[in-house]
Amino acid sequence: MAVKVNCLNPIAACGMELLPDTYEITDNYADADAVLVRSASMHDLELSDKLLCVARAGAGVNNIPLDKCAEKGVVVFNTPGANANGVKELVVAGLLLASRDLMGGYNWVKDNASDENLAKAVEKQKKQYAGNEIAGKKLGVIGLGAIGAKVANIAVRLGMEVYGYDPFVSVDAAWGLSKYIKHITNVEDIYKECDYITIHVPALPATKGMLNADAFAMMKDGVRILNFARDVLVNDEDIKAALASGKVAKYVTDFPNPAIAGTENVIALPHLGASTEESEDNCAIMACKEITDFMENGNIKNSVNYPNVNMGVCGDTARVTICHKNIPNMLTQFTGVFAKQGGNVSGMISQAKGEYAYSILDIDKVPTEDDINALLAIDGVIKVRAI
Ligand SMILES: NC(=O)C1=CN([C@@H]2O[C@H](COP(=O)(O)OP(=O)(O)OC[C@H]3O[C@@H](n4cnc5c(N)ncnc54)[C@H](O)[C@@H]3O)[C@@H](O)[C@H]2O)C=CC1
Ligand SMILES: O=C(O)CCC(=O)C(=O)O
């Protein structure tokens, strides 16, 4: 039967073209085996029994109910790093927008475009839009993942003194960091020392409202804040007060909301970080490859709610995949189901991530409906799929 794929947002064609010809694109979310999504919220959508996986063509997964998906055996993927360069480049633009009054200058020229003496007027007017250079200034980067690490490295190359903070930094990201980045172990040192602060952490209960009145109170007067991660990381009322008092000179954000969009010294962009042809292509390609390998082989790569598991292509007559709870004695029960029927399990792999686990079994016979039902009847088994 054809694999049905539903796109909740438009996904770049170069990714969609990688899906096998046998796959069918459907407008009917409820009938989909696989869902592709960018920023659309899935929190209010029902998860059908048929749904097997969701691929987020992007990094942030706060638009997807990860626990609810895990409980129903729906594997959620994202595309780590695929749009990081796009965001990094926009953060560089954000640093410049926070330092030079480009918007004011641009608007003034536009408003005076028909002035015959424009060239002369420009020379008189330009002092209104003078600013500062970023070279030599201190930049604090909170979160040194795919984006934060790139931002920190480019800022070093632009002549900034860079402070980096990430208590959970991955080994890969750490290897890629410039040796000139100062390793900060207490985020308060970033608040106290830096002229510019940029935040690149996921929206989690622990990071929501991280930049709040207490944090602003520690910062230098005239600090410039950049938020290309998520609106909820910055407390709206607190940053408005900090902008009004001059504590924060500029707030550049990719996440406007009615509370801050019209506020003076807020420069708000319409979530453009990953909106480049290159990032959209990279994310679409990675997401579609993840779906295809999962649907065809049961392999999981870059999941955010199930473990990564790779057993290549099926080396026997059939393959069975099982989403289950991470509890004792599961594997012997799985092999027991096939042993009872005289079937041989020739390959098996199992990995756990938190409360959940995922197993792949290659077997020398096509599993019967009874086999599948026997697996489903095991306490802790969530979803079984025969490939
Ligand atoms: N503006 C846009 O269009 C885009 C925004 N984003 C946002 O940026 C966020 C980061 O993206 P990536 O760098 O690709 O993700 P990532 O997962 O590679 O990096 C996130 C980093 O934050 C760190 N972290 C987590 N909690 C922290 C804390 N309390 N303090 C300091 N560091 C902490 C993690 O250890 C990790 O290194 C995403 O979660 C998403 O919300 C991502 C892509 C595009
Ligand atoms: O798909 C998009 O444009 C959103 C990108 C984003 O915010 C993310 O990857 O977390």
Q: What six digits make up the tokens of 244?
A: 């009004």
Please report the beta strands in 88-242, taking only residues with DSSP state E, as ranges in sequence order: 138-142, 161-165, 182-184, 196-199, 223-227
Is the CB of 59 inside a 6 Å radius of any atom of ligand 2? yes
3-class SS of residue 317: coil
Q: What six digits make up the tokens of 368?
A: 């019967």
The average pLDDT across 28-47 equals: 98
CA angle 146/152/154 to nearest 5° reads: 100
36 & 50 share domain: yes
The average pLDDT across 80-90 equals: 98
d(CA 54, CA 42) in angstroms, rounded, equals 10
d(CA 124, CA 277) in angstroms, rounded, equals 40
76 & 104 share domain: no
Atom 25 of ligand 1, nearest CA residue:
201
d(CA 213, CA 201) in angstroms, rounded, equals 19
Q: pLDDT value at position 1?
A: 76
- The ipTM of this complex is 0.99
CATH code (residue 364): 3.30.70.260
Q: Does residue 276 form part of some domain?
A: no
- Residues 370 and 376 sit within 8 Å (Cβ to Cβ): no
The average pLDDT across 175-191 equals: 98
Q: Tell me the one-letter amino acid at 6.
A: N
Judging by DSSP bridges, how do beta strands 196-199 and 138-142 pair with one another? Answer: parallel
156-179, pLDDT tens digit by residue?
999 999 999 999 999 999 999 999
Q: What percent of the chain has pLDDT over 90?
A: 98
307-358, pLDDT tens digit by residue?
999 999 999 999 999 999 999 999 999 999 999 888 899 999 999 999 999 9
130-141, pLDDT tens digit by residue?
999 999 999 999
59 & 101 share domain: no
* Ligand with minimal distance to 202 CA: 1
- Residue 124 reports pLDDT greater than 80: yes
Q: 9: left (phi > 0), else alpha (psi -120 to 50), else beta?
A: beta
CATH code (residue 234): 3.40.50.720
74 & 146 share domain: no
- Residues 41 and 60 sit within 8 Å (Cβ to Cβ): no
Which H, E and C letters describe 51-107, residue by residue? CCEEEECCCCCCCCCHHHHHHCCCEEECCCCCCHHHHHHHHHHHHHHCCCCHHHHHH
Ligand 2 atom closest to the Cα of residue 9 is 1
3-class SS of residue 290: helix
d(CA 143, CA 169) in angstroms, rounded, equals 8
Q: pLDDT value at position 183?
A: 97
Q: pLDDT value at position 138?
A: 98
3-class SS of residue 353: strand
Q: pLDDT value at position 341?
A: 80
262 & 288 share domain: no
- Residue 225 reports pLDDT greater than 90: yes
Domain span at 98: 84-268
149 & 237 share domain: yes
282-308, pLDDT tens digit by residue?
999 999 999 999 999 999 999 999 999
Domain count, the chain: 3
Q: Does residue 292 form part of some domain?
A: yes
Q: Does residue 275 form part of some domain?
A: no
213 & 333 share domain: no
Q: pLDDT value at position 196?
A: 99
* Ligand with minimal distance to 209 CA: 1
Distance 39 CA to ligand 2 centre (A): 6
Please report the beta strands in 248-387, taking only residues with DSSP state E, as ranges in sequence order: 248-253, 266-268, 318-325, 345-353, 356-363, 381-386
Q: Does residue 46 form part of some domain?
A: yes
At residue 270, φ and ψ (nearest 5 deg) are: -85, 65
94 & 180 share domain: yes
- List the beta bridge partners of residue 323: 358, 383
Ligand 1 atom closest to the Cα of residue 84 is 14
- Residues 47 and 27 sit within 8 Å (Cβ to Cβ): no
- Residue 251 reports pLDDT greater than 80: yes
Q: 81: left (phi > 0), else alpha (psi -120 to 50), else beta?
A: left
Confidence of residue 223 (pLDDT cuts 50, 70, 90): very high
* Among 7-16, 53-62, 209-218, 334-343, the least confident range: 334-343
14 & 162 share domain: no
203 & 188 share domain: yes
The average pLDDT across 208-222 equals: 98
Q: What is the largest distance, in Å, between two alpha-carbon atoms of the chain?
A: 93
- Residue 232 reports pLDDT greater than 80: yes
d(CA 130, CA 151) in angstroms, rounded, equals 25
Q: Does residue 357 form part of some domain?
A: yes
Ligand 1 atom closest to the Cα of residue 204 is 26
Q: Tell me the one-letter amino acid at 29.
A: Y
139 & 252 share domain: yes
Distance 125 CA to ligand 2 centre (A): 39
The average pLDDT across 144-162 equals: 98
Give the number of other Cβ atoms within 10 Å of residue 361's Cβ: 26
* Ligand with minimal distance to 141 CA: 1
Q: Does residue 351 form part of some domain?
A: yes
224 & 347 share domain: no
